[in-house]
Amino acid sequence: MTTAPSSDPSGPGPARASHAQRAASFGAGADEYRAVRPSYPDAAVDWLLPAGARHVLDLAAGTGKLTERLVARGLHVTAVEPSDGMRDQLRDAVPGAHVLSGTAERIPLEDGSVDAVLVGQAWHWFDVAVAVPEIARVLRPGGRLGVVWNVRDHAVDWVERFTEIIHRGDSLEPVHRTPEIDAAGGAFTPLEHATFPWQDHLPASSLRTLAATRSHLLTLPPAERDELLDAVDRLVATHPALAGRPEIDLPYRAECWRADRVLGTDAATTVDGAVDGAVDGAVDGAVDGAVDA
């Protein structure tokens, strides 16, 4: 059930969209999401995948930014995504993937059916108390869970200013942190972490569109959204590193975590005992930076 918007805890003002409403907002901007959201560096994808993987699940696949990287490797890829609009974009962009409707909390696959479950830019939307046991259930013994976030590099001045603009008034700012996998009751090995710096080359004018694909802006009243997007345009027009440049490089760090499914553990018992509730999918261990969500 969708909950009513909650008030911004920073003080008086209009109600803001709830976590659930923001998670459901992406379908409205799926075409722009597909056009401007970054992909993932090959080194990060290679690190996330286990040796010998054949069947991979891209969970909460969005418009297929990670999916296409997996299909390009000759893998059999199932992409599960709850948004109708996102799935439509995914099917058009990545015809080699098997696309299904579903969620992290209810994965439409058989037990032990995949060699890896990868999650790109989406873990913070999961109810991990339910999702983690579900992921353990569909993984074969020895299979791999991999999680990746593209994080903007704030060491660059204009990136820091861009991030400040698009997070104004954001009462539900998601934070990428070490994924919580304890809900699977010992079904996974300890997490490993790696970072892969890279740059996304894009037209400078696309910064406005990139900002518009964030759930915070998608759920703002039109006047407030336009105000923030106009501020992005002013940044592009006036910042010395951006002004007059038709194309730019946006620096990212691909922050990656991986853990393997422990041999001999029974995921079904942890699924049966999963606790309902809204969990952001984050624990201590935050990495500095900002993730587009």
- What string of DSSP letters covers 108-126? -S-TT-EEEEEEES-GGGS
pLDDT of residue 288: 45
Please, are residues 183 and 270 in contact by the beta-carbon 8 Å criterion?
Answer: yes
Q: Could you say which residues of the chain have pLDDT below 70?
A: 1-31, 33, 171-176, 183-184, 265-293
pLDDT of residue 11: 37
Of 136, 241, 238, nearest in space to 182 by CA: 136
Structure tokens at 280: 């952001």
pLDDT of residue 231: 96
pLDDT of residue 266: 62
pLDDT of residue 123: 94
The residue type of 129 is: A
pLDDT of residue 282: 34
Terminal Cα-to-Cα distance of the chain (whole angstroms): 21
pLDDT tens readout for residues 49-89: 999 999 999 999 999 999 999 999 999 999 999 999 999 99
- What string of DSSP letters covers 21-86? HHHT-GGGGHHHHHHHS----HHHHHHHSPTT--EEEEET-TTSHHHHHHHTTT-EEEEE-S-HHH
pLDDT tens readout for residues 220-240: 888 998 999 999 999 999 999
CATH architecture entry for 14-150+173-198+254-282: 3-Layer(aba) Sandwich (3.40)
For the chain, which residues make up each domain, given as ranges? 14-150+173-198+254-282
pLDDT of residue 8: 37
pLDDT of residue 129: 94
